[in-house]
Amino acid sequence: MKVFENFSDWISFRRGGDLAGQTLGFVPTMGALHEGHIELVRRSKKENQKTAVSIFVNPTQFNDPKDFEKYPKTFEADQAKLREAGVDYLLYPKPEQMYPDAYRYFVDEKEMSTILCGAHRAGHFRGVLTVVMKLLNGVDADHAYFGEKDYQQMKLIQGMSEAFFMKTQIVPCPTVREKDGLAMSSRNARLTPNQREIAPQIYAALKSPKSLAQVRSELERYGFKVEYLEEHWGRRFIAAYLGDVRLIDNVQI
Task: Based on the fold, state whether residues 124 and 220 are members of the same structural domain.
Answer: no
| Residue 165: pLDDT over 90 | yes
Task: Based on the fold, state whether residues 194 and 237 are members of the same structural domain.
Answer: yes
**Higher-pLDDT residue of 37, 18:** 37
Query: Which domain-ending residue is among 104, 139, 173?
Result: 173
Whether 181 is in a domain gets the answer no
> What pLDDT is stored for residue 49 in this prediction?
98
Task: Based on the fold, state whether residues 119 and 244 are members of the same structural domain.
Answer: no
Task: Based on the fold, state whether residues 167 and 195 are members of the same structural domain.
Answer: no
Task: Based on the fold, state whether residues 116 and 160 are members of the same structural domain.
Answer: yes
Whether 127 is in a domain gets the answer yes
> What pLDDT is stored for residue 70 in this prediction?
80
Task: Based on the fold, state whether residues 98 and 160 are members of the same structural domain.
Answer: yes
| Residue 142: pLDDT over 90 | yes
Task: Based on the fold, state whether residues 140 and 226 are members of the same structural domain.
Answer: no
pLDDT digits (tens, 9 = 90+) for 96-109: 999 999 999 999 99
Whether 48 is in a domain gets the answer yes
User: Whole-number mean pLDDT of the chain?
Assistant: 96
Task: Based on the fold, state whether residues 44 and 125 are members of the same structural domain.
Answer: yes
Which CATH number is 64's domain given?
Answer: 3.40.50.620
Q: Pairing mode, if any, of strands 225-232 and 235-242?
A: antiparallel
> What pLDDT is stored for residue 163 in this prediction?
97
Task: Based on the fold, state whether residues 190 and 116 are members of the same structural domain.
Answer: no
**Which residues are CB-contacts of 119 (< 8 A; sequence separation ≥ 6)?**
228
- Structural domain total, the chain: 2
**For residue 219, what pLDDT band results from cuts at 50, 70 and 90?**
very high
The distance from CA 160 to its chain's CA centroid, rounded to whole angstroms, is 15
| Residue 30: pLDDT over 90 | yes
Whether 178 is in a domain gets the answer no
Task: Based on the fold, state whether residues 137 and 18 are members of the same structural domain.
Answer: yes
Task: Based on the fold, state whether residues 131 and 218 are members of the same structural domain.
Answer: no
Across 134-173, b (16+ Cβ under 10 Å) vs e yields: bbbebbbbbbbbbbbbbbbbbbbbbbbbeeeebebebbeb
Domain hosting residue 26, numbered range: 2-173
Percentage of the chain beyond pLDDT 70 is 100
Q: Which helix (H) or strand (E) holds 77?
A: helix 75-85
Whether 179 is in a domain gets the answer no
Query: Which domain-ending residue is among 152, 173, 194?
Result: 173
| Residue 173: pLDDT over 90 | yes
Enumerate the active-site residues.
37
pTM: 0.95
Q: Which helix (H) or strand (E) holds 155?
A: helix 151-163
Whether 120 is in a domain gets the answer yes
> What pLDDT is stored for residue 34 in this prediction?
95
**Which residues are CB-contacts of 40 (< 8 A; sequence separation ≥ 6)?**
27, 145, 146, 147, 173
Task: Based on the fold, state whether residues 146 and 115 are members of the same structural domain.
Answer: yes
- By the 8 A CB rule, do 60 and 126 touch? yes
pLDDT digits (tens, 9 = 90+) for 54-88: 999 999 999 888 888 888 889 999 999 999 999 99
Which CATH number is 235's domain given?
Answer: 3.30.1300.10
